[in-house]
Amino acid sequence: MILVVILFTLGLIFEKQLHGTPYSVGEYLVFIPAYLLSGWNVLTSAGRNILRGRVFDENFLMTIATLGAIAIHQLPEAVAVMLFFRVGELFQEFAVGRSKRSIKSLLEFRPDYANLKTSGEVKKVSPDEIAVGDIIIVKPGEKIPLDGKIVEGEAQLDTSALTGESVPRTAKVGDSVLAGTIDKTGVLTIEVSKLFGESSVSKILDLVQNATSKKSESEKFITQFARYYTPVVVFLSLGVAILPPLFIAGADRYQWVYRALILLVISCPCGLVISIPLGYFGGVGGAAKRGILVKGSTFLDTLTSVKTVVFDKTGTLTKGVFKVAQIVPKNGFTQDELLQLAAEVESHSNHPVAESIREAYGKKIDDSQVEAYEEIAGHGIRALVRNQLVIAGNDRLLHRENISHDDCNIEGTVVHLAVDKGYAGYIVIADELKDDAFQAIQALKKQGVEQTVMLTGDNRAVAERVAQNLGLDSYYAELLPEGKVEAIEKLILQSEKNSKVVFVGDGINDAPVIARADVGMAMGGLGSDAAIETADVVIMTDAPSKVAEAIKTGKKTRQIVWQNIILAMSVKGVFILLGVFGLATLWEAVFADVGVALLAILNASRVLRGS
């Protein structure tokens, strides 16, 4: 590029002298090398595409325009077209590089090694070599290489690479930790719970690397537009070059060929071809910087039409950190007996409610006393405990098993227990709202969302209380997983034409609903693998307020893209008319084309900055 600029500048300064050499050989010796150096990629791309049958593209337009300029001995203009086009490409590469760096910053948390503890010694191995159940050591300053549970130690963890949050969080024995977070203070001993290929970091890497694979409607529009636009421009230019000298008396053929070349250069859709994909790339990158992973630019487009946002309750609007708040025994059982029965029957469950009951019990459970364990989806658990048939679950389970009990509408998350078909009492589990849940609903209203809805398997009293506290428009309670799908389908049918429905969830039971919604969002920190894999958008911070931020980013991206489309078409339309009527030279054509491309690129870069 430096050599091209030097040759081009010297050529312009000494153009008169170079032109005066025999057969203008001096002019050719200076400008042709500059032309080939600056335009080689364009020329070869045009040639390759012609051989593949894809004739009409921006490379073809540039090639015939510049070769035509050389043919009519306008060498400086031919070099200027290629030079400034290359300058535009450099700006594009810089802007795309910024977008890629923002996304790749997420990839920097890929761990390079793991400290495997075996037979009293610790050795460095690749994370791929670690098996589930292995013990690894993480020292201060090191990345946690795999998902697992802390069995020894306490430390402050930097989760910013995954979540975008700068405040470290404290992790202690019993806490689950995710691959990619950084140990800031203490030595941790971790029992691995997932293979590296199944870990959070591995899945996020895959999401980011494939984030731009799905084209938005605007990108598809430009692809189709260029397919028809380019041949129209070529034949229109051909008509400008050939027809006026045939039908207008005294028309100068040279002049009309020059105007045709101007038309070709002005018409080159570089600004559109460059800036629209860049706009979406910037949108995906800008969202990634804020802890929001968008799996394709098509979902950024869809977010602009969202009028209904539907939330799961537990783990999405609430913290999903349950604690036993009340134990109410019945029919002769004591509180200790009821808690022990509940802990035993829930001993094999991974549900947060079951974990809270086992934590409250706090004693070792003899698994050999628990037999015929069975989970009943959406209801609860049945098992033989010390040869007694024990069931634990919600009110629906009691009705299903025809067990008589006093009250069906107890406020809170409730686990009812029955022993040998006799009611034994209930345990109330408390869950807290997330800190930003209320602000999240308010922010959605500001973004133009007309309806906020909550779906939950919890009882109606709990659902009503949460909905009132958050200011939700409506809620559906006591839903089984299939009930949630039916509810989302009903909301989609009720929504207006071109209005989209978002569902935000975190659990494995939310995966079908996430898949059914127009845009499915998953909480990436605490969410299940199934929900994250199914989702179109993953919120790494687990903060519901990020839903409104994702919609805002989508709208900003769409706005910038359409600004670029209107800018490019308007400027090109004006200069095409000026060129046809001989009021614009090839120089103005170059600056119109490159100028529009640069303005579009700078505008597209705004979405990455969030400005």
Kindly list the catalytic residues.
Answer: 312
Contacts of 582 (CB under 8 A, 6+ apart): 255, 259
Of 440, 551, 534, the closest CA to residue 499 belongs to 551
Side chain identity at 492, as an amino acid letter?
I
Judged by DSSP in three states, 131 sits in: coil
| Measured distance CA(314)–CA(262) in Å, rounded | 63
Strands 155-158 and 182-183: antiparallel
| C-beta atoms surrounding 149 within 10 Å | 13
Burial classification of residue 331, based on how many CB atoms lie within 10 Å of its CB (0-12 exposed, 13-18 middle, 19 or more buried): exposed
The CA-to-CA distance between both ends of the chain, in Å, stands at: 32
Tokens in use for 235?
């034949």
The answer to whether the CB of 136 falls within 8 A of the CB of 192 is yes
Find out whether 183 and 155 touch, Cβ atoms under 8 Å.
yes
Q: Are 511 and 534 in contact (CB under 8 A)?
A: yes
C-alpha 526, offset from chain centre: 17
SS3 369: helix
* For the chain, counts of helices (H) and of strands (E): 21, 22
The DSSP H or E segment spanning 18 is helix 15-19
The pair of structure tokens assigned to 428 is 């109330």
Return the residue matching tokens 């783990």.
315
**C-alpha of 451 from chain center:** 23
Q: Which of 368, 360, 407, 398 has the alpha carbon at shortest distance from 380?
A: 398
Q: Can you tell me the distance from the alpha carbon of 220 to that of 208, in angstroms, rounded to the nearest whole number?
A: 21
Answer positive or negative: Cα dihedral of 553, 555, 558, 562: negative
CA distance 472 to 459: 17
**Tokens standing for 9?**
């500048």
Distance CA 81, CA 66 (A): 7
